[in-house]
Structure 1
Amino acid sequence: MTAETPIDEALLRANPLPRHSQGDDKNARGTVLVAGGCREVPGAILLAGLAALRAGAGRLQMGIGSSLGPSLGLAMPESRVVGLPETEEGMIHPSAAPSLARFAARADAMVLGPGMPASPEASQLTEALLDALPAGSEGPALVLDAATLGDLRQQREALRRHAGRIVITPHDGEMARLLDTERQAVLADPLSAAREAASLLHLVVVMKGGCTHVVTPDGAAWSCDRGDVGLATSGSGDVLAGLVGALLARGATPLQAALWGVYAHAEAGRKLARLQGPIGFLARELPPEFPAILASLAAPQP
C-alpha cells in the first residue's frame, strides 16, 4: 500500500478548485442543502450552513423538524428553511424521505446528519433517502455525517447508486460503529480503519482526528496534521461537513472537496489558536476564516 501524501499548499494548488468569474450569479456557485438537527441540537445544521456559505456556496437551504423551522429561519436569514415531519425528539421523521429527496434533487450537494441523534430512525431516514434520491449526476453530491454513518455497512446497495459522489466524515467512535469494532482499535490505527471503510463502501473517507486522513476506495491516502487541539470542540465536525458540502456544490470532486476542506478547516483552527490561544475558541468562529484561507490558496504565485 502506498504511503500517505501530506495535504499542503503545493498539493492544493496543483488540484485547484473550480473558479468563479465576475458576473456569475449565485446559482453558478451551487446550492447546498443541509438536513438534520433535533430538539436537543438544533444549532448543528446552522453551523454547517454557515460554513457552507463562508466556503463560497451560492445558495443555502436547510431541512429540519417542523417545530424547529421558524427559529432556524430567524437565526439564519440567508437560508431557505423547510420544516419536515418529525419524531418525538424533533428529528426529521423517516417518512419525510420522499419530500426531502424532492427538495435535495434541486441542490448540487447535500449534507445529511449534523445534529441527528444516533437512532433506528436516523438509519431508516438515511437508507430511505439514498433510495429516493436521483442517482448519478442527476442527484446531489453527498456528505454523510454523524448519525447517518452507523448502519452504512447494511446500506451498501443504496450507496452504490451514488458511487463516486459521496464523502463521509466520521470520528473514531462513529468509525467504530460503522465497522462494528472497538473504538480503541480505530484509535490504534485510524488509517487502516479509513481504508477499510473506503474500500467497503466505495466512497471518500475523511477520518477525523489529531491527524486527519483522507482515503479513496483504492486505498490512496492523504494526511493533515496541521489542526490545532482547539479544533476538538463541540460543533467543529458540523463546520467541516458544511465546508466540504460547499466545495462539492461549487463543482469540486469528492476527493478535491475533502482535501481542500480538511486543510482549510485545520488552517482556520491554527489562525484562531494564534489569535486567542490553543483552546477555547468556538466552532462558530471557524467559518469567518474560510474566505481568506481559500482565496490565498487560489491566488497566483509570484
Structure 2
Amino acid sequence: MSTVTPVTEQLLRAMALPAPGGDSKDGRGRVLVVAGCTGLPGAVLLSANAALRAGTGKLQLAVCRDLAIPLGIAVPEALVIGLPQTEDGNIDRAGADGLALRAGSSDAVLAGPGMIEDAETQAVVTALVRGAAQAALVLDAGSLIAVRADPGLTRMRASPAVLTPHAGEMAQLLGQDREAIEADPLAAARQASERFGTVTVMKGSRTHIVTPDGRAWCYEAGHVGLAISGSGDTLAGIMVGLLARGAAPETAALWSVYAHGEAGRRLGRRHGGIGYLAREIPGELPAILAGVSA
C-alpha cells in the first residue's frame, strides 16, 4: 500500500474521538504511566499533565521510590506508586510483577519517558507489556529497549501497541544507520510496523504514522519550536490519554500528532517563534481537541 494521507483537521473530523462517557471519571478511562528516573523526573510530569489535558479520567504514576512524594505534590490529581529503585536511580525489576498487575486493570499504559535504557528497564517493560494484554499501550523512549530485545513482544497483541521513536531510536530498533533512517523515514516506519506489529509514529520535522496493515499518514504542519527537550514526553502523554478515552490506536496517534503540532504553532505565534517550553504544550490541548471536534 503506497498511498500516504496527509493529517488534516478534515481527516480527524472523519475519525472522531469517542464522546466522554457520562459524568463519571471512570467513563474517560484509567491511565498508568511508568516512567522516569532520578535524573529525569520531569519526563513523568510532562507526560502526566499531557494525559490529563487530553481528557483521561484517572491517572496513576509508577516511578522509582525517590520521585514518589515530589511527583505526588506536583501532580495532585494522580495516584503515585513508589517502586524499588536501582543504585542508578532507575526503576528496579523487583517492581515488575506488581506493575504487570496494575497494567492489567488499566485502560491504557504508557512506558518509557525518562527511563534509563538498561537491563532493569528491559525486564520491567517486558513484564508490563505482558500484563497489559487487554490495555492500550504506548511505548516511548527508554522502553524501546524491550522491543529491540524481543521483536515478538508486541506482535501478537489483539490491539496494536503504539511506538514513538525518533530517528536515533528507530536506527537502533532496525539496526540501521541514523542517516539511512533520516533519508527515508516513511520506509523505516513501514519496516518497524511490519516487524513489531505496531502503529509506528516516526517523529521528525515530518511525522509519519504507519499501521501494521500498511496504512500511512504524514503530518507536515508542525513547528520548529517543538524540537525541544520534553516535547516527545508530552506527545506520548497525549496518546495514552486519548487511548484511555477509547480511541483506536491509529486514531489516538493521528489526533495526538496533530494536536501536538498545532499546540506548537499556537505557542510559536504567541511567543514570537522559538523559546516556548514543553511544559506549556499540555495547556493548549483542551481547546485544540474541542475545536477539531466541534
Q: Specify the TM-score bucket, using the shorter chain as the normaliser.
A: over 0.9
Please identify runs of 4+ aligned residues in structure 1 that moved more than 4 A: none
Q: Report the CA distance between 1:161 and its aligned residue.
A: 4.2
The 5 A counterparts of 1:69-84 are 69-84=68-83
1:190/1:207 contact within 8 Å kept: yes
Partner of 1:268: 263
RMSD: 1.3
For residue 223 of structure 1, give the secondary structure of its aligned residue in structure 2: strand
| Alpha-carbon separation, structure 2, partners of 1:292 and 1:192 | 34
Which of 194, 219, 228 is the equivalent residue of 1:224? 219
- Cα 1:288–1:56, aligned 2, differ >3 Å: closer, same or farther? same
1:29/1:56 contact within 8 Å kept: yes
1:36/1:91 contact within 8 Å kept: no
Partner of 1:16: 16
The 5 A counterparts of 1:46-57 are 46-57=45-56
2:3/2:216 contact within 8 Å kept: yes
Question: What per-residue deviation string (whole Å, max 9, x for no partner) do you get for residues 190-220 of structure 1?
Answer: 1100000000011100000000000011221
The 5 A counterparts of 1:61-100 are 61-100=60-99
1:163/1:203 contact within 8 Å kept: no
Partner of 1:239: 234
| Alpha-carbon separation, structure 1, partners of 2:223 and 2:155 | 35
Long gaps (5+) in structure 1: none
Number of equivalent positions:
294
Greater shift in the superposed pair: 86-95 or 265-274: 86-95
Letter in 2 for 1:178: L
| Alpha-carbon separation, structure 2, partners of 1:151 and 1:103 | 19
2:147/2:153 contact within 8 Å kept: no
Q: Give the TM-score of the pair, scaled to structure 2.
A: 0.97
| Alpha-carbon separation, structure 1, partners of 2:19 and 2:126 | 34
| Alpha-carbon separation, structure 2, partners of 1:151 and 1:196 | 18
The 5 A counterparts of 1:133-282 are 133-135=131-133, 139-282=134-277
1:51/1:287 contact within 8 Å kept: yes
Q: Report the CA distance between 1:157 and its aligned residue.
A: 3.1
Letter in 1 for 2:45: L
Greater shift in the superposed pair: 81-90 or 246-255: 81-90
The 5 A counterparts of 1:99-114 are 99-114=98-113
| Alpha-carbon separation, structure 1, partners of 2:35 and 2:140 | 10
- Cα 1:231–1:204, aligned 2, differ >3 Å: closer, same or farther? same
For residue 62 of structure 1, give the secondary structure of its aligned residue in structure 2: strand
Q: Report the CA distance between 1:134 and its aligned residue.
A: 4.7
Give the fraction of aligned pairs with identical amino acids, expressed as a percent.
53
| Alpha-carbon separation, structure 1, partners of 2:273 and 2:145 | 31
Question: What per-residue deviation string (whole Å, max 9, x for no partner) do you get for residues 219-269 of structure 1?
Answer: 211000111000000000000000000000000000000000000000000
Partner of 1:2: 2
Partner of 2:34: 35
1:163/1:202 contact within 8 Å kept: no
1:20/1:28 contact within 8 Å kept: yes
1:164/1:202 contact within 8 Å kept: no
Long gaps (5+) in structure 2: none
Q: Give the TM-score of the pair, scaled to structure 1.
A: 0.94
For residue 33 of structure 2, give the secondary structure of its aligned residue in structure 1: strand
Question: What per-residue deviation string (whole Å, max 9, x for no partner) do you get for residues 157-204 of structure 1?
Answer: 332342423101100011011111111111111110000000001110
For residue 286 of structure 2, give the secondary structure of its aligned residue in structure 1: helix
For residue 154 of structure 2, give the secondary structure of its aligned residue in structure 1: helix
Q: Report the CA distance between 1:151 and its aligned residue.
A: 4.3
For residue 70 of structure 2, give the secondary structure of its aligned residue in structure 1: helix
